[in-house]
Amino acid sequence: MDTLPIGFIGGGNMARSLIGGLVATSWPREMIRVADPDESQRKLLQQQLRIATENDNQMVVSQAKIVVLAVKPQILKTALQPLVNVVQTTRPLILSIVAGIRLRDIDRWLGGGLPVVRAMPNTPALVGSGASALFANQIVSPEQRSIAESILRAVGIAVWVSREDHLDAVTALSGSGPAYFLYIMEALEQAAMDHGLDRDTAHLLTLETCLGTAKMALESGEELAQLRRRVTSPGGTTERALAVMTNANVSDTLAAALVAATERAAELADMLGDD
């Protein structure tokens, strides 16, 4: 697969992480351009990643075969409307990492009939450990699907979902998920401190336990329930702790949290895509 010119609309944290991943996987810097109205963002990109930047979206898009949309959801429609003529002429692959905006709205705002992929990355992409899900409209070719996937794989894992509304559940799980784990980690750290551990020790043990557990689960290939049973000795401390969580309906609480987040993701998509 040939490396194609790629243009980013928006140069914030997620765009910078994707660009850094692309550069690290040998995407030539001279094939990457970013448009951002914020001069400080442009200077940061120039200094950190040594890529070309512009304050003119149309100039960047006119030279790109792939256009990555990486702006805030509330301003996407305004950012896209001036680009209709140029994208209808150049017909690039549109890859949106904008949360909550559906494919049909992106395509409509760009004049229609374009290949559009919608991706939902998460914040661990900033450290190269992202988990992203993608969905493409019917115009996207197999080669374009491969290109979109390779861009997201530059910062972690990437999976395809079979229906666009599944991205609402992805948003609730992996998009919002880092906050859930951080919430639990905060609670564990504080509980350990309440039992006498100093803050630094409690913090380090919490982080390494979380990291090690995820690594063990990834590398073992076993079901999570089986791994949990393996580390739960009958009559031991872990069994006692899990009994407390079961009695407190922790699993039901987490399920309710995902339902609430999924519903909110759908609500926001309706609101943001409304004319």
What is the token pair recorded at 87? Answer: 């994208």
**Residue among 8, 170, 178 nearest 99 (CA):** 170
How much is the pLDDT for 274?
66
Specify the residue for token string 């094939």. Answer: 31
Residues 59, 139, 156, 120, Cα dihedral to 10° = 80
pLDDT of residue 273: 84
Task: Kindly state whether residues 117 and 205 are assigned to the same domain.
Answer: no
Do 145 and 236 share a domain, yes or no? no
Please name the amino acid found at residue 246. T
Strands 32-35, 156-160: pairing kind: unpaired
Instruction: State which of 126, 146, 167 marks the end of a domain.
Output: 167
What's the domain count of the chain? 2
> Which of 106, 138, 167 marks a domain boundary?
167
The DSSP annotation for 34-57 comes to EE-S-HHHHHHHHHHH--EEES-H
Q: How far apart are CA 81 and CA 63, in angstroms?
A: 18
**Do 101 and 163 belong to one domain?**
yes
Domain C-terminal end among 136, 167, 198: 167
pLDDT of residue 221: 86
What pLDDT does residue 222 have? 93
Residues 50 and 74 placed together within one structural domain of the fold:
yes
- 162, 179: one domain: no
In a shared domain, residues 245 and 145: no
Q: What is the pLDDT of residue 149?
A: 97
Could you tell me if 119 and 220 lie in one domain? no
In a domain, residue 156? The reply is: yes
Domain extent for 160: 6-167
Instruction: Answer yes or no: is 1 within a domain.
Output: no
| 15-57 residue pLDDT tens | 999 999 999 988 999 999 999 999 999 999 999 999 999 999 9
Residues of the chain with pLDDT under 70: 1-2, 274-275
Asked if 97 and 143 sit in the same domain, the reply is yes
**pTM score above 0.85:** yes
